């Protein structure tokens, strides 16, 4: 069983007893810190219709080779094995998942997967472009929830930030999601200094007007240009400070393993969330595992090690071998992302190629 190290010396990986790599079909995916993994993020493509500055370069992206992209059969097989091991949610992401031509088929095939406790949930994170045309078929295929990313509702800012003048299409996508039965509807916004940090209240008001919950995300060091600067990022405290000037914020208890902390606005029903991956990491409760579009398993967004499923999927390996690889990946999971460690290395892949 082989793991490919990406930018990190192998000697720094925790030593795991090789016998622990054995397949254990049906047993939960528990790591060495007792975290049970229930959520598989599946990236469908590294390609995208936007070029958000914090995620992708403007030009010169090295795309994954087309032949390396997992087929719907391969994705379904991994999902079935993960579900048998207790994964209950598949979140489709990318790149932009709606750019994948067979996205409706992917949803239909995954929605038919059953775990020991029955059906799984199929969620999607999208930039919203193409939602109006695709949402009815996605819902019919079994999509359970959708998150749409929108960092600004001002057209000039959107064009500068995403390097594409496509805000109207994103707004139409959000309107389509709001008109559907998919709930809860969540909107994601990365808070950025000098870009949208004067627009935080406006973004929440917009989300509320759509019947959606806004979740602010602290910017993470995952940009293709490696330009992230901790001193420049807008923190959870700053976000809460800005919102407190407009609303009384009451914490919502019962977060569980969810990345977002939530607050009621003026006693609620409406809420706002903050995903403070940098200043208040939630690694201790992480239940997530990732599959890249080219078949690499990752146990963390910030992982510098990947576990290659392609030789198994395309080399005639049995389901037990794939189950064993899932467990090997989980057993190598570190306690946290260590962004603040002096030796922190940003992963070689940009966010669009990892799957957010």
Q: What angle do CA 312, 308, 29 make, to 5 degrees?
A: 90
CB of 314 to ligand SF4, least distance (A): 26
Nearer to ligand SAM, 125 or 325 (CB): 125
Residue 56 contacts which entry, ligand SAM, ligand SF4, none (Cβ below 5-8 A, type-dependent): ligand SF4
Residue closer to ligand SF4 by CB (options 55, 185) is: 55
Interface residue with ligand SAM, options 23, 55, 138, 309 (CB under 6 A)? 55
Tokens describing residue 181: 């039965």
Build a one-symbol-per-residue string for 141-180: x at contacts with ligand SAM by CB under 6 A, - elsewhere.
--------x-------------------------------
- Asked whether position 243 contacts ligand SF4 by CB under 6 A, the answer is no
Among 23, 29, 52, 98, binds ligand SF4 (CB under 6 A): 52
Tell me which of 50, 120, 122, 192 binds ligand SF4, using CB under 6 A: 50
Q: Which residue has the tokens 């990986």?
A: 13
Contact between residue 114 and residue 79 where contact means Cβ atoms under 8 Å apart: no
Nearest residue to 147 (alpha-carbon basis) of 83, 88, 216: 216
Which of 40, 70, 75, 94: binder of ligand SF4 (CB under 6 A)? 94
DSSP type of residue 36: B
Segment lying near ligand SF4 (by CB under 6 A), choices 78-86, 89-97, 246-254, 276-284: 89-97
Cβ proximity to ligand SF4, 35 vs 349, nearer residue: 349
Contacts of 205 (CB under 8 A, 6+ apart): none
- CA pair distance 133, 243, nearest whole angstrom: 34
Cβ count within 10 A of residue 73: 9
CA–CA gap between residue 202 and residue 209 (Å, rounded): 11
């Amino acid at each position: 069983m082989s793991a490919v190290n990406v930018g990190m010396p192998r000697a720094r990986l925790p030593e795991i007893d090789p016998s622990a790599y054995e397949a254990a079909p049906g047993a939960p995916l528990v790591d060495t810190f007792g975290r049970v993994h229930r959520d598989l993020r599946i990236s469908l493509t590294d390609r995208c219709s936007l070029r958000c500055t914090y995620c992708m370069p403007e030009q010169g992206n090295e795309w994954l080779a087309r032949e390396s992209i997992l087929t719907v059969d391969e994705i379904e097989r991994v999902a079935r094995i993960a579900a048998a091991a207790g994964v209950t949610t598949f979140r489709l992401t990318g790149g932009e998942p709606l750019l994948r031509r067979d996205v409706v088929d992917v949803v239909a095939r995954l929605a038919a997967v059953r775990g020991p406790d029955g059906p799984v949930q199929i969620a999607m994170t999208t930039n919203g472009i193409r939602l109006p045309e695709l949402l009815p078929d996605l819902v019919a295929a079994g999509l359970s929830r959708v998150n749409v990313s929108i960092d600004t509702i001002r057209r000039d800012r959107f064009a500068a930030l995403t390097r594409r003048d496509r805000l109207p299409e994103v707004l139409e996508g959000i309107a389509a999601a709001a008109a559907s039965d998919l709930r809860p509807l969540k909107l994601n916004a990365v808070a950025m200094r000098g870009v949208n940090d004067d627009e935080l209240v406006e973004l929440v008001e917009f989300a509320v007007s759509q019947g959606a919950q806004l979740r602010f995300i602290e910017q993470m060091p995952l940009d293709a240009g490696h330009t992230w600067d901790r001193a420049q990022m807008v923190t959870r405290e700053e976000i809460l400070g800005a919102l407190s000037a407009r609303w009384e914020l009451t914490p919502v208890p019962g977060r569980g393993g969810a990345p977002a902390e939530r607050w009621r606005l003026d006693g609620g029903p409406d809420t706002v969330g903050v995903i403070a991956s940098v200043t208040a990491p939630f690694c201790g409760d992480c239940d997530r595992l990732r599959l890249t579009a080219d078949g690499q398993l990752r146990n963390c967004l910030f992982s510098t090690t990947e576990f290659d499923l392609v030789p198994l999927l395309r080399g005639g390996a049995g389901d037990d071998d794939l189950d064993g690889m899932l467990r090997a990946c989980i057993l190598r999971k570190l306690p946290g992302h260590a962004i603040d460690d002096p030796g922190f290395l940003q992963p070689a892949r940009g966010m669009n190629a990892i799957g957010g």
